[in-house]
Amino acid sequence: MRIRIVTDSTANLPPDLVAGHRITVVPLQLIVGDDSYAEGVDLTPEVLASALKRSSGVSTSMPSPRAFLESYEELAASGADEIVSIHLSAELSGTHDAALMAARHAPVPVRVVDSTTMGMALGYAVLTAAEAAAAGEPAATVERLCLERATSSTVLFYVNSLEHLRRGGRIGAASAFLGSAFAIKPLLTLTGGHIEPVDRLRTSSKALARLQELVFAAVEEATAAEAAPVDVAVHFLPGHDRSVRAAESLAEALGQRYADQLAGGGALLVELGAIAAAHLGPGTIAAVVTPATEPSAGSSAGLSEGLPGQTDP
């Protein structure tokens, strides 16, 4: 049985891995005024940077059920017998529901998976699914392995302000920080599909130092629980110098301290996708820690190609 993998653009997977694993990516849209841009297709860093400076007129949009159905139909026409369609947290977006609607009309069976996460936590899970499918595993096993990878991931992030999350309605339990009488720099996590507060610091330097401590602790916890190494990805916001520098510093510190424990010998630097950036705001730094599987550890080496901190941006 030939199983193909579909995901959405919030997985932030580099194009070479998408092509190499024959993954189909359905983009979300960034809406800026009267213009719409497909994430990962026609959205430049300059447009994103300009959009993040606006106080209004910027929103995001999930793919339509028609977009998913067209992808499912194309895969079926090319020989797919079954499809596993893996998407960002249903708590954060209607993307999962749109895929479910399309799956009801697809010409082949489609398993729609709520990863309960996004970014490279989703990306790593999608790679695991693609590798399992390529190895001939049945769809039920592909789904199980994908979910195990996604739910074992730790996602931590620093935001410069809660304003973008509040404006987009994704603030969740982190709204508890809004009542602070002082300016704060929040640290947040994505767990169980929704955003939760972790800590709040008075300055960005203290917040970034605390973020590093938390990421180090997540690596140590993951390596203590698993004999295998861990995959670590650090997300940065392209075009935002401070975000890039902070991400590079965190990745370098991880590589120096945990070279023997990290798959590929170091952390990966990965651009934060436009959809996440629109909701988190400029200056965001995020880190993903997940126990590596044997195939994806090999894929991690491929991820380092063409990424800042590994080669030129």
- pLDDT exceeds cutoff 50 at 284: yes
Q: How does DSSP classify residue 150?
A: H
Q: How many CB atoms lie within 10 A of CB 114?
A: 19
Q: What is the mean pLDDT of the chain?
A: 86
Sign, Cα dihedral of 74, 95, 280, 33: positive
Helix or strand holding residue 4 (H, E): strand 3-8
- Residue 140 within any structural domain of the chain: yes
User: What is the CATH number for 141?
Assistant: 3.40.50.10170
Do 11 and 144 have their domain in common?
A: yes
Residues 142 and 164 grouped into a single domain: no
Query: b/e map of 43-57 (b: 16 or more CB within 10 Å)?
Result: beeebbeebbeeeee
Q: Are residues 138 and 170 in the same domain?
A: no
Whether the Cβ atoms of residue 24 and residue 137 lie closer than 8 Å to each other: no
List, for residues 23-54, the tens digit of each pLDDT value.
999 999 999 888 899 998 887 767 777 777 77
- State residue 312's pLDDT score: 33
User: Residue 296 — very low, low, confident or very high, per pLDDT cuts 50/70/90?
Assistant: very low
Note whether residue 50 is domain-resident: no
Q: Clarify whether residues 82 and 182 are in a common domain.
A: no
- Whether 163 and 299 share a structural domain: yes
pLDDT at 171: 46
Residue 34, domain member (yes or no): no
pLDDT band per the 50, 70, 90 thresholds, residue 274: confident
Residue 287 lies in a domain: yes
- Residue pLDDT, tens place only, 138-182: 999 999 999 999 999 999 999 886 765 665 444 454 444 444 435
Residue in 223, 230, 221, 222 with CA at minimum distance from that of residue 296: 230
51 belongs to a structural domain? no
When pLDDT is averaged across residues 274-291 and rounded to a whole number, the result is 88
Any idea which of 54-63, 214-223, 288-297 has the lowest mean pLDDT? 288-297
Same domain, 141 and 218: no
Q: What is the pLDDT of residues 99-122, one digit of tens each?
A: 999 999 999 999 999 999 999 999
Could you give the percent of the chain with pLDDT greater than 90?
Answer: 61
Looking at 54-63, 137-146, 239-248, 269-278, which range is the least confident one?
54-63
Residues 130 and 192 grouped into a single domain: no
pLDDT of residue 55: 61
Total of domains in the chain: 2
Instruction: Give the model's pLDDT for residue 227.
Output: 67
Do 160 and 266 share a domain, yes or no?
yes
From 59-63, 171-175, 205-209, the region with the lowest mean pLDDT: 171-175
Q: Last residue of a domain, which of 150, 184, 201?
A: 150
Q: Are strands 154-158 and 185-191 parallel, antiparallel or unpaired?
A: antiparallel
**Residue 311 belongs to some domain of the structure:** no
Point out the least confidently predicted range of 5-14, 208-217, 294-303.
Answer: 294-303
CB-based burial label for 120 (10 Å; 0-12, 13-18, 19+): buried
Do 262 and 125 fall into the same domain? no
Same domain, 208 and 195: yes
Helix, strand, or coil (residue 7): strand
What is the reported pLDDT for 206? 94
Task: Give mean pLDDT, residues 197-211.
Answer: 92
What order do you get walking across the sheet with 58-61 strand by strand? 35-38, 29-32, 58-61
Q: Residue 265 — left, alpha, or beta (φ > 0 → left; ψ -120 to 50 → alpha)?
A: left
Residue 22 CA from chain centroid, whole number: 18
**Residue 297 domain boundaries:** 154-303
Whole-number Cα distances in Å, 48 to 38, 45, 120, 234, 247: 11, 5, 19, 19, 18
Q: With beta carbons less than 8 A apart as the criterion, state whether 84 and 142 touch.
A: yes
Reference 146, options 165, 132, 164, 135; nearest CA is 132
User: Is residue 277 domain-shared with residue 193, that is, in the same domain?
Assistant: yes
Same domain? For 146 and 229 the reply is: no
Asked, for residue 278, whether it belongs to a domain, the answer is yes
Report whether 305 contacts 69 (CB < 8 A): no
Instruction: Give the CATH number of the domain where residue 175 resides.
Output: 3.30.1180.10
Q: Residue 299 has what pLDDT?
A: 39
Residue 198 counted as domain residue: yes
Quick one: average pLDDT of 247-272? 93
